[in-house]
Each structure stands twice: as structure tokens, then as C-alpha cells.
Copies of this chain bind each other. A is one copy, B any other.
Amino acid sequence: MQQHEMAKQFIAKLGWFSPLSREGHEVLRGLTSARPRRLLPGEDIIGEGERPRAVNILVSGWACRCKQLTNGRRQIISLILPGDTCEHVVFVPDEMDHSIIALSPSSTIEMPQNVLDILAREHPHLALALKWEAFVGTAVQREWTVNLGQRTAVERMAHLFCELFVRLQMVGLAEGQGFAMPLTQGDLADALGLSTVHVNRTLQELRGRGLLNLRNRHLTILDFDVLSATANFNRAYLHLSSRAQVNGKAEAS
């Protein structure tokens, strides 16, 4: 990956808030041309209790926000995809109350606090796009709450896959009707609040209904319409409708 291609997904994502000027592109490229940090699956990007000194941007691989319970169980609170920021941009806490862990081989780059300050002062438009990104993160978190609270295993999994598909489309990482999905069934279980065994069976159910296919870490969505109807999926919570409809790219369904 070229140096200036490093934060491709990050730049693409911010562009969904509103089209970036050429200057905006260049500012972001400059800010994100740092040398990336490489992580192996299971490695902490930042651990619970640490104090973040910069905002990490995931540039490749998948990661998760994750909370470990004392009884050994863990919940994946949210999935972090290429182009997503790992910490919240608007308010940096004293101490992380959860950890952020790489789920596949990944790389991150850092955006130091002072860079954010400069951005806020000199490029209010980009700063607003960053706030939008953080806001969408909270909206996704709310939808996960609904998912875990109200939906059955089949609906939950269908909903997750719909969300991932749309989010990956945003940053150009969907391939036709599917995407590369590095999660194990155990990871899915931790994200969906199910047991591994039940994830396996739910997956079979969805396969059996002819809605999708998961092989070799690649998910193919065979019928997005039925899948999203099953899940009661409504992309409004991702707050990208203004452009999503115009752009054509995301109109595949």
C-alpha cells in the first residue's frame, strides 16, 4: 500500500459526511502519513485502564471494542473497520473503561491530540466531519443495544451482516455482494451475545434459507432485500442517506 494510500478508507469515510475539497484531501493525507503500527490478532491496540494520548485510526484489518467480565465471558461492544477511529475524538478520557483489540492482522496510525486541535482551528469542515464520524459511532452503539435487547439470534446475525455490508461499502471494501470477513464464529458469538454453538446453527439457518454464504472468511450475501427484511434493518441510523442515494455505489441491494 502506498504511503498516501494509507488512510484511504478513513478519507473515504469522512467524505460521506460531505464531499471533501481537494485541500481537505491533502490536509488529511498529510495528517495521516505517519508510519503505521502493525498488530497481530489478539493484540491490544489500547488496553483497559490505559490513558489514550492520541486517536488511533484503523487503516487495515478488523478490530473490536471489548469488555471482559470477571466470569470469563466477554462482550464485543462494537466492531472497528478500516477507516474507523478507535477512540472518541471529541473527548479523550483519563482512562479507557474497555480495551480495543485487533481481531485480524491490522495496522493503525495515530492522530495526536495537537493535530486534532489544529484541525479544529484551521479546518472546521474536517473537524465537523470527524464529529459526524463519532456521532455515527454512537448511533451504531444504540442500534446494537436494540439488536441485543429485542432480536432473535437469526435476526441479530442478519442485522449485523447488513450493517457490516453497508459500512464496508462506504469505504470501498465490499466486493460485489459480499466482503472479506475475518471473524471466527467465536468472535461472532461474543459480538451477538450468543454461544459459539448457536452461532454455528444460526449461520446454517441463514445459509439454509438461501440468504448468504460464508466460506473461507468470505461472506456472500445472496439476497440482501430478504436479509435486511429478516433483520428489520433500516440504514437510517448510519446517517449517510443524503449521499448514499445519490452516489449509486451503495444502491446495490
Which residues of chain A have a CB within 8 Å of any CB of chain B?
65, 67, 69-71, 73-75, 77-78, 88, 90-91, 93-95, 97-98, 128, 131-132, 134-135, 137-139, 141-146, 148-150, 192-193, 232, 236-237, 239, 241-242, 245
Contacts and interface: CB of A to CB of B under 8 A. Distances in A.
Contact of A146 (B77, B88, B131, B242): B77
Contacts of A73: 150
Nearest to A76: B149
Contacts of A232: 69-71
Contacts of A245: 94
B146 A90 contact: no
B149 A75 contact: yes
A141 B139 contact: no
Given A90-B90, A193-B149, A97 B236 contact: yes
Nearest to A245: B94
8 residue pairs, one from A and one from B, having the closest CB atoms? A149-B193, A148-B148, A91-B135, A91-B131, A75-B149, A97-B237, A75-B146, A75-B150
Contacts of A138: 88, 137-138, 141
A132 B92 CA distance: 9
B141 A145 contact: yes
A200 to B, nearest CB: 18
A241 B237 CA distance: 32
Contacts of A146: 67, 69, 75, 77
